[in-house]
Structures are given as C-alpha cells and as structure tokens.
Chains A and B, each alone.
Chain A
C-alpha cells in the first residue's frame, strides 16, 4: 500500500510548497509533493531495512506521521487560506474543467490538470518502455537481478518515484482515495484476466478508462459523488473478473473441476 501512503504523506510537501511560493500554482505544489513522495518511500524502506520493523508497520508509521505534520502545518500557517483537508482527501473531479490554464492575454489552453497529467503520463510511459526488462526482472527475481549486475535498489526507488509522481499529479484532481482505487483496482482486475505481463499493463489502462467513463455516468445518473462512483465501478470490475475470468475465475474453476 505504498501508493496509499504516498498519497497521504505528500500533504506536508504541498503545504510547504504553498508557504514558500504563496500561490496555489500546480507546478511548485507537484514538486513539493513529489519530493515528499520520494522521501516517504525512502523512509519506509529505511525503517523496514534498518530498524527491522515489518513492512506494513513501517508504511503505517511513516504516512500517518507525515500526514499529521501536514494537517498541523495547514491549521497553523494556512488556516486562513483555502487549502481544504477534505479536498486533499476526496478531490473534486467536477471542478477540473473550471481550473483553466490561461495565458496573460487571456488565451485558454484548457484545464491545467490535463497538461500536468499528460506530461506525467508521457514520462511514465517512457520510463516503462525503456526500463521494461529491468522492471520485469527485479519484480520477479531480485536475487538473480543483483547477481547479473542489475541494481534492485536503484530500480525499486525509480519505480517508487514513478508511483509518487503519478499519485501526486493525479490526486490534485481526483483525491487520494480515488488514486488508491486506481493504483490497485484495475491492475488487480487485469491480473485475473491474463497471464501475460505486457497484456496486463495494457489491460489495466483500458479497465481504468472504462471505470472512469462508466463511473462518471453512474454518478450523473445517481446525482452522487463522481469519485465515489468511479471507485465503486473499479470494485465491481474486480468482482466480475474474480467470478467470471476465463483463466482465474471462480465460476470456471468450479466448472472445470466438475468436468474433470
């Protein structure tokens, strides 16, 4: 649940960036949050490895502590400004179209988040494309990777940096809870649907897109929270895959055992 941890722990980074620049511009906030995200992964790994605390305990201690610092910073220094704690947690995707990127002479480039997220997306795709074999190997068999001279520590931190960058860039618009739903839900569903790693990567993205579209119309129809509806759809997708997946589904498994 490192993604969960990062999405909470970046809060002090955002507040500090805000205090330094005095603006709610997304670039300094993403830099501040990104730095805190990387620091979080380092701290988690540090406590786990050197203090010999269990991984989950190490994650828990790190992110609650950093999140709490963030809350205190908000209440002490930024109380009078609109840095809403709820907004950080839940986000509000419906406001995205209102936050436009306007140039000095009034030219509009559309919503800001599309640009920041688009940039991060390209970065992440490049990272996965170029580092594919190293990521694949270090995820499957770190011991062997180390013997043939591929640094597992380096790739672990690169991956975690990518996770924290993604988290930070997305949660501004969709909130921490939906970020975690997206980090875990679609890949878990894809894992149940295929045995091929590359297919799994592509499938996760498609499942994520479907969840967003279906979730949005569900919220529109129910007149409810968009983020909540999307997260619900990712849960439903997982349940469907869990039951009906042709390779791993519970239903087919039972049928197969009966047939045999």
Chain B
C-alpha cells in the first residue's frame, strides 16, 4: 500500500542504492506530505538509514532521483537539517555542548564569517528548548546518552530548517528524554515543519507518527499510520520473523501491553 500525496515535501523516484555494487535499497518510490511526523520503520539492515542518507545525498544513488520542496537537493540545503546517529561521532572530541549546538548556525553563515551574537542567541534558545541550557559549557564527553541526543537535537533546532531527518533519535535514551523529544517533535509539526524519523520500536510508532513508511530493502508501504500499521503489512516487512511478529501486531492493535513503563 503506497499512497502518494499532492504537493509533497519529499519526492523519491525509483531510488536504488548500492554498497559495493550490491543493492541495499531497491526502487523506492514515495512522496511525503508537508507538516507531518513521518516514521521510517523496518527490521535491522532494512536500509532505513540508507534511505534517509540517500535522500539527503550523503550516499550516491545507483538510479532514481530525489526532489525536496520540488527542487533538487543542492538548491534547498539551507532548509534541511539532519540529526545523525549518536554513535556516528567521537564524543571525546574537545568541544563543549555550546560549540556543538553553534554548529547548527554554520550552514547559513557562509565562508569566512564567524558566528555573531544572533547566532549565539539562537544556539542558546535551542539549548533551552531541549532543557540543556545549564549544560552549555559542559564538555561533550561528560554527557549521558540521552543528553548527547538532546545536544544533537538542539543543534538541528538552532538551524531553524523546514525539514528534519533524524536517525534513531530514540535509540538508547532514557524515558524522560524520549518524552521530551516527542513533545518537541509535535511542537515542530505544529509550526509546519516536516520531521522524518528512523525508528525501530513498533510499539510506540503507532502513537508517535502520523505518516509511516515500512521498509525492508524495498518499500513495503507508505501512508497514514493507522492504514499502514496492519498485521498484513507488518508481516510483509518483517518477513521471516513472523511468529514473534504476529504477536507484536496483535499487541499493537490492542495497545494493551506497553513494552516499557511510561511517565503518566
């Protein structure tokens, strides 16, 4: 079930991505609506990160093309932000929390210009939004996983983009951070931003996202969450691991057994 929308913010046509000539994503063709919270869901190795990296032109596509805001990506770079996987950087790098958040302003500064006061204010505001203002001068090596994730989020917020790609922002964070992040994402959606999130937890997916993309090396489904998260489509996505999965599907439908405790 692949639904297409009119006036999409992201338009992916027949995208195939290969590592070392072996395709890891086959002919993905999808459109995403503006102002939505999109979840990209699939098993490990399904190519979820690959998909968003290829959309952002971080990985070369073997075939197909991508348009964002109906333009080639190179023309709209300053409207795009990215929250990489936390493990993708070296947290022992000699930098403070504020240094990292300020990086969010670099893209709009241009060559040779130093950050001005307005940029520093924007970085500080972004830190406040994620509740980390008191950590501004802290070394990034002294942060917990959840705090690291918030710093990355603050950096993206400081950029004030229109579309955000986030790679597993909920992976390995504490429940307080998870709640804070999802609140923030909802605020962003209310402001008309589009947020695309790579996510691995089926249980919370139904609750968090209003548009869901199911992926397993090929596109299984793309559409409104309640139409996409069906047992049949989940079985197609998770293939062989079905005995477990049909249970998860049942759980999901009933929403009775939360997999973790929630703050009420």
User: Which residues does A use to contact B, with CB under 8 Å?
Assistant: 52, 130-134, 136-137, 139-141, 143-150, 191, 194-197, 200
Main secondary structure of the interface of B (DSSP, over half): mixed
B88 within 8 A of A: yes
B114 within 8 A of A: yes
User: A130, A134, A195: which has the most chain B beta carbons within 10 Å?
Assistant: A195
B194 within 8 A of A: no
* B141 partner, pick from A146, A150, A194, A195, beta carbons under 8 A: A195
Enumerate chain B residues within 8 angstroms of A144, measured Cβ to Cβ. 82, 84, 103, 155
> Is the CB–CB distance between A143 and B159 below 8 Å?
no
Enumerate chain A residues within 8 angstroms of B95, measured Cβ to Cβ. 136, 140, 195-197
B256 within 8 A of A: no
Q: Across the A-B interface, how many residue pairs have beta carbons closer than 8 Å?
A: 77
User: Which residues does B use to contact A, with CB under 8 Å?
Assistant: 20, 53, 56-58, 74, 77-78, 80-82, 84, 88-90, 93-96, 99-100, 103, 106-107, 109, 111-112, 114-115, 139, 141, 155, 159, 165
Enumerate chain A residues within 8 angstroms of B93, measured Cβ to Cβ. 139-140, 197
Enumerate chain B residues within 8 angstroms of A139, measured Cβ to Cβ. 93
Known: A148-B107, A196-B96. A133 touches B84 (CB 8 A): no
Chain B residue at smallest Cβ distance from A197: B94
> Is the CB–CB distance between A143 and B99 below 8 Å?
no
Chain A residue at smallest Cβ distance from B88: A143
> Is the CB–CB distance between B107 and A149 below 8 Å?
yes
Enumerate chain B residues within 8 angstroms of A148, measured Cβ to Cβ. 77-78, 80-82, 106-107, 159
Bound-complex Cα distance A195 to B98 (A): 13
* B107 partner, pick from A140, A150, A191, beta carbons under 8 A: A150
Bound-complex Cα distance A144 to B165 (A): 11
> Is the CB–CB distance between A200 and B82 below 8 Å?
no
- Shortest C-beta distance, A153 to chain B (Å), equals 12
Enumerate chain A residues within 8 angstroms of B20, measured Cβ to Cβ. 52
Chain B residue at smallest Cβ distance from A194: B94
Q: Top 8 A-B pairs ranked by shortest CB distance?
A: A148-B107, A149-B77, A147-B82, A195-B139, A197-B94, A143-B84, A141-B89, A195-B94
> Is the CB–CB distance between A134 and B141 below 8 Å?
no
Chain A residue at smallest Cβ distance from B159: A148
Enumerate chain A residues within 8 angstroms of B78, measured Cβ to Cβ. 148-149
Enumerate chain A residues within 8 angstroms of B89, measured Cβ to Cβ. 140-141
- Shortest C-beta distance, A161 to chain B (Å), equals 17
Bound-complex Cα distance A130 to B141 (A): 27
Enumerate chain A residues within 8 angstroms of B114, measured Cβ to Cβ. 132-133
* A133 partner, pick from B80, B96, B106, beta carbons under 8 A: B106
Enumerate chain B residues within 8 angstroms of A131, measured Cβ to Cβ. 112
